[in-house]
Amino acid sequence: MSELHHECGLAAVYHLPGRPASPLCPPQGPSEVARLVPRMLLDIQNRGQLSAGMTAWNPDRTQLLATHKDVGSVSEVFGMSHRNAFERLMEQHTGPAAIGHVRYATCGADDRGYAQPLERPHIQKRKWFSFGFNGQLANYPELRAEILADGENHLARDNDTEVILHAIGRELSGDAAPSPRELLAAISRRFDGAWNIALIDACGRLVVARDPLGIRPMEYAVEGGLVAAASESVALLNLGFATESIRSLEPGTALVVDADGHRIERFAESPRRAHCFFEWIYFANVASTMDERSVYLVRKHLGEELARLETVPIDTDTVVVPVPDTSKAAADAMAYALSIPSVEGLIRNRYTGRTFIDGAASRRQKAESKYTPLREVLEGKRVILVEDSIVRSTTMKVLLGRMRSLGLAREIHVRIACPPIVAPCFYGIDMSTIGELFAPPFLEEGRLTEAAQAEMARRLGADSLRYLPVEAVARAIGMPGGSLCEACITGRYPTPAGERLYGVALADAGRGVASRAYESLTR
């Protein structure tokens, strides 16, 4: 689904003072573990391709916290294609501890000012900090209005990250010196939504926190003196941490690392969970494991769910074709269950650029070059095309047309390893209005019927279309539905502010207003 994008990804590393060098440290030694951050960010680049950055702490440097960030991919921002440029940059940002961030904007502009981490200098070291944020605050409009109610206050950026910056700054103001647990407990009481934070201060204290609902994933690992955390386990696995040493940070808890060592501290109760199901279905790297659930195995289970529902006649000319790349595990599992081939009938061009930042006409043109149908594989075949989701349908329409005109497929039956997307996300995924979604106009009183799916197929140019039912998601992930955030497929949100925004979105859709719910509330 090239039409759908996540907001952010986080990474953090810390080598504890006085501990023996971990074999996972860079060759330069424990004092330069900050060098590991760009490498970790490459592994979570799937979570954000708009900007990247890092902040390194070094007690032996006048600039205790040094931040580098810019718009572009990780390789572009850190000059990783040019050894000399990369080395110069790392020499300026060396240190035994660092945090990193990749971003795709769900709100705010596409310029360097919105890149993270955000650093807040201060003369007092405990008040000088830098942080990165993954998620989205559903009560951002209320928090923003609260800040601006005082005519003396001003916000320079149009996003929730700056609101978090000021919330943390407020807790650190005055003579009070809150502990990490006290600080996080205070802001947790004010925040509604998804918010994972990686923060480092000029005292050399690292804090990695996961919100009480656990909407976004966060993993961590410890080996010897090296402590690391990342939005996905693959970044830790590729550093060399053993699989069994990688753990999920529990919702409502924080990993705190300082000169005294590392510890897990609970800052908020977590009576319910709302893990984003889309992390397993689409966003996360297929090699990752989150909350003890393998992304690959979840997608495999989704394919098996599709196979159980299949009614298309199977003959020697029937093949399963995945839409590269996130649909491959589901497609392979479906084909295996049906005893038919899973073939690479579409080849993805990985260098077409980011289609989501362009206008509709340009987006369509880039979609046309994103996948190349293989006539040798598709000609005369009955194709079961497996995709992980349909959000806006732009790419799918173009793809089906090219599979018929260039690939000469005889039939194309679209199978979606996900229920229909019927509601916006207010927790960090780029689908903000009901009007942009493909499925809602076809539903009958909110129900997905066979007639609705037939009309959807006709509109897309497919011979048939089938979605998975909502209950299949929880079965595939292996979690009860009550532990998942399924708001975008049910319209039921896990937080009060999410429910309020959905009400605004429904009202806007009824009036034909195309703006996002946030914008309607902040005008």
Q: Which stretch of DSSP H or E encloses residue 344?
A: none
484 and 404: one domain?
Answer: yes
Does residue 490 contact residue 276 with C-beta atoms inside 8 Å? no
Q: Which of the listed residues 217, 238, 271 is the one where a domain comes to its end? A: 271
Does residue 197 contact residue 209 with C-beta atoms inside 8 Å? yes
pLDDT of residue 119: 97
Domain containing residue 371? 296-522
Count of C-beta atoms within a 10 Å radius of residue 390: 25
CA pair distance 518, 433, nearest whole angstrom: 10
Q: What is the DSSP letter of 283?
A: I
Name residue 104's amino acid: Y
pLDDT of residue 523: 60
398 and 488: one domain?
Answer: yes
Check: pTM over 0.85? Answer yes or no.
yes
pLDDT of residue 494: 97
User: What would the pLDDT profile of 347-395 be if each residue is shown by its tens digit?
Assistant: 998 776 544 334 455 556 666 778 999 999 999 999 999 999 998 888 8
Name residue 278's amino acid: F
Does 255 score more than 50 pLDDT? yes
Closest CA to 342 of 333, 351, 332: 332
**Does residue 288 lie in a domain region?**
no
Q: Can 8 be counted among the known catalytic residues? A: yes
267 and 407: one domain?
Answer: no
pLDDT of residue 126: 96
CA pair distance 165, 96, nearest whole angstrom: 24
306 and 260: one domain?
Answer: no
**Does residue 397 lie in a domain region?**
yes
18-32, 264-278, 363-377: lowest mean pLDDT where?
Answer: 363-377
Q: What is the DSSP letter of 462?
A: -
Does 77 score more than 60 pLDDT? yes
User: What would the pLDDT profile of 140-166 be if each residue is shown by its tens digit?
Assistant: 999 999 999 987 888 888 789 999 999
**Does residue 291 lie in a domain region?**
no
Residue with token string 């070094």: 58
Name residue 313's amino acid: P
183 and 325: one domain?
Answer: no
Query: Could you write out the DSSP letters of every residue in 101-150?
Result: EEE--SSS-SSGGG-S-EEE--SSGGG-EEEEEEEEETTHHHHHHHHHTS
- Burial class for 205, CB neighbours closer than 10 Å (0-12, 13-18, 19+): buried
**Averaged pLDDT, 393-412:** 95
Q: What is the DSSP letter of 281?
A: I
Confidence of residue 105 (pLDDT cuts 50, 70, 90): low
265 and 400: one domain?
Answer: no
CA pair distance 252, 238, nearest whole angstrom: 27
pLDDT of residue 510: 87
63 and 204: one domain?
Answer: yes
pLDDT of residue 352: 61
Residue with token string 């937080």: 495
Name residue 58's amino acid: N
259 and 310: one domain?
Answer: no
CA pair distance 462, 248, nearest whole angstrom: 41
Confidence of residue 522 (pLDDT cuts 50, 70, 90): low
Q: Which of the listed residues 210, 237, 271 is the one where a domain comes to its end? A: 271
pLDDT of residue 520: 65
Confidence of residue 514 (pLDDT cuts 50, 70, 90): confident
* Residue 180, domain CATH: 3.60.20.10
Confidence of residue 55 (pLDDT cuts 50, 70, 90): very high
**Does residue 1 lie in a domain region?**
no
- Tell me whether the omega of the peptide bond preceding residue 325 falls within 30 degrees of 0, making it cis: yes
**Averaged pLDDT, 494-517:** 89
Q: Measured on CA atoms in the order 387, 392, 398, 400, is the torsion positive or negative?
A: positive
**Does residue 50 lie in a domain region?**
yes
> In terms of pLDDT, which residue wins out, 181 or 20?
181
User: In percent, how much of the chain has pLDDT > 90?
Assistant: 80
Tokens of 128: 């000088």
User: What would the pLDDT profile of 305-346 be if each residue is shown by its tens digit?
Assistant: 999 999 999 999 999 999 998 899 999 999 999 999 999 999
**Averaged pLDDT, 165-190:** 95
Query: What is the b/e burial string over 70-84, where b = at least 16 CB atoms within 10 angstroms of the residue's CB?
Result: ebebbbebbbbeeee
CA pair distance 123, 172, nearest whole angstrom: 13
User: In percent, how much of the chain has pLDDT > 70?
Assistant: 93
Helix, coil or strand: residue 491? coil
What angle is formed at CA 275 by the lines to CA 270 and CA 279, rounded to 5 degrees?
155
**Does residue 3 lie in a domain region?**
no
pLDDT of residue 366: 67
**Does residue 280 lie in a domain region?**
no
pLDDT of residue 370: 84
**Does residue 281 lie in a domain region?**
no
* Residue 400, domain CATH: 3.40.50.2020
Does residue 229 contact residue 219 with C-beta atoms inside 8 Å? yes
43-47, 297-301, 443-447: lowest mean pLDDT where?
Answer: 443-447
Does 107 score more than 60 pLDDT? no
427 and 508: one domain?
Answer: yes
Q: In the 3-class helix/strand/coil scheme, how is 143-156 assigned residue by residue? A: HHHHHHCCCCCCCC
365 and 501: one domain?
Answer: yes
pLDDT of residue 4: 45
Closest CA to 274 of 105, 442, 425, 52: 425
Q: How many residues does the chain have?
A: 523
Q: How far apart are the first and last CA of the chain?
A: 32
116-125, 271-280, 315-324, 358-367: lowest mean pLDDT where?
Answer: 358-367
User: What would the pLDDT profile of 427-474 be if each residue is shown by its tens digit?
Assistant: 998 777 898 899 999 998 888 999 999 999 999 999 999 999 999 999
**Domain total in the chain:** 2
Q: What residues pair up with 289 in beta bridges, in sequence order?
A: 294
pLDDT of residue 364: 63
pLDDT of residue 446: 83
List own/partner pairs for 174-179 with CB under 8 A and 24 or more apart: 177/126
476 and 509: one domain?
Answer: yes
315 and 260: one domain?
Answer: no
Q: What residues pair up with 119 in beta bridges, in sequence order?
A: 130
